[in-house]
Structure 1
Amino acid sequence: MSKDRIVLIASWVFFPSVFVLAAINGVNPLSGGASQFEKGRYFEGVKEVNNTVPKAKTGRRTEDILEEMLVVQKQQLDRQDKILAILENEFEPKPKEIVVNGKKCIENSSAECFNMPLLSKEAKTVPVIAAYLKNPNVETAKSYLQWHAKYLKSAFAGGTSIELAIAKYGQEAYPLNYNTVSSDTAGGYSTVLNEKNNKMVLDSMRDSFEMNIYLGKSADMDVYAIDNIAEFLRENKGVKANFIFYSGGSKKIMDAIGKRMKDVAIALNSANSVVVDSKRFSSHNIFTTPTIEIYIKSKGKNIPLFNGRLSSNSIATKIVDVLEVEDVIKQGHSPMHKQWERAGEYSHKYLKDQYSIDINKQYLKQQYK
């Protein structure tokens, strides 16, 4: 520690102590009876308001008070030394000497003197990460994975919330040149396994939500996207759907399309409700179409799912995501092995294509029950 620093800190304690001691002894340091030292050279010419300073009611000796002040000063200096050590280690770290195989060496100066460094801020501040990096084994890995699973769960919920906020508010929430309308191609698809699993999940949860489909603000996108929406409803017959049109004209167009596209006609005719209600667009902040909204019955709330066009399975996946975020279904309800158990029918196709072996998939499943 530098001498200048010690002198500066000592002055903070010493000079106020002169006036404290003077007050304890019944001497006003600004009065005429005080010595020049007690007055202080910078207080000359200051007029007194009151020449009487009450004498402190204490029997303590001046030496005792000074000793207590020195103790406090030492504590402050110790704290400052610790702060200085932390700052130096963070911004100007010094080489650390360690013992490896009985020999002293500078930490990480060579492969022989290796010691796992905690390079990231997270590793330094999250004990479970530090424990795993410093001593990687089955137990520390288990603890780290348990922590990491909860970390990822929180991150995934945050990512889904961002997508939902953009779907609901558009550029009001994210005023950049960001694509707020999904535009999946007509041939887009996900794996057969995931698609079948999503259908099973939605079928089991069909009484817990309804699907609100808003149309009528974007003629081109409405017409482009309606086939995938109708396909989703055909593949997930248990899902209750409500069609809300912005105007009578937009409904008339969809009715005309339904005369040429069977799935669209079935979707409209089997819908839970079909209405024209422009006021509902305003009250639900529907700024473009198509907009798909999910109504969760147990919570009495509407959640915008997406705007634009998505494949049938992508729509199903988004609904499952929302039901997870809202705790309608539990996270981890469909791990991959459970999907294979519930929906897997890939093996019979694989054997037939690769080896020309035709197996009875129903018999196979029956024997595994």
Structure 2
Amino acid sequence: MGDAHVDSEVRFEVQGRLGVIVLDRPRVINALSHEMVNRIHAQLVAWADDDAIERVALTGAGERGLCAGGDVVVLYEDATSGDGSETASFLADEYRLDAYIARYPKPYVSLMDGIVLGGGVGLSAHAAHRLVTERSRVGMPETQIGFVTDVGGTWLLGRAPGELGVHAGLTGTLLGPGEAIALGFADVLVPSQRLPELLERLETEDVASVLGALAEAAPDAPLLDERPWIDAVYDADDIAVILERLDELDSDAARDAATALRGRSPSALAVTLRAIRIARGFERLEDALAQEYRVCRRLHAAPDFAEGVRAQVVDKDKTPRWHPATVAELDPAWLDGVFEVGDDELRFDIGPGTSGIITGEHDDGDEGARE
């Protein structure tokens, strides 16, 4: 074990030529706080300029998973008793970090072991090297709490094969390791029992040689077997049409999907569907993150986010009362307004070697480093 810097939520360790980020809130599956986001970003910037560090790895404390996402209770409190400014600040800093990870100038290895949801996907699925294990369960469950897929999730889901990404984003389906690889959230599988060896070898060896020795063939991806009906159902641009098509199918999988969608926030479903569709046309992750920042702030201020967190996390009665309650009641003008460009857009400095801090107009930069 090398040198370590410890605080209450995240640890930074130096082991040989490897810098290790350890998310350290195991009781809440390492849920991300604003402080964690800022500390991680600052440490990555420091390591980028440190010649003693050749590569970086992200892992999580505890046995349950890498990260269960952002700390939604804090965002809930801001929605119910605050003015939204803390949420805006958190999302901006989180998305800048996600963009920086995607363009990190040194090899960045994410160990996506166990549960990896929401904000955890942002920290890991944009890395240069993304590892899952046999225990991985990866997902974007935001529609369950009246929110929209974010942290670059619309970018990832929009690039999944066929309509699999739309299905996963709308339903919040958890992806097993083979499915995470097939849908573009991960690259290779390394058995969980070999992760300590992987980290030890990364202290002195380059990423390619370590993965060449430890990675195994991708496991089956059962969701791929469902692709024919998923592609036929989800190519619509209207949630009502998707539900009608699901109802016409005589299969347990389609019925399960219809049940899942009818339990989600109609507003969140409509925004997520459109956001993924639009993100397919973007050329850069930063464009998807900017759109997500825009729509997430507006959904945070709408009734369904607070109601969804109340039902799922605070009161845990699992009976959210959505407004509007049905897809048929959605106001098309409201949906259009959610996507309107405003005066408070998120922009990125994405030149080579930059820290991802907001500065103004976009500028092309290098992709994340690989070995």
Q: Same fold (TM over 0.5)?
A: no
* TM-score, length-scaled by structure 2: 0.23
Q: Which has the higher contact order (CA 8 A, sep 6+)?
A: 2
Structure number, greater radius of gyration: 1
* TM-score, length-scaled by structure 1: 0.24
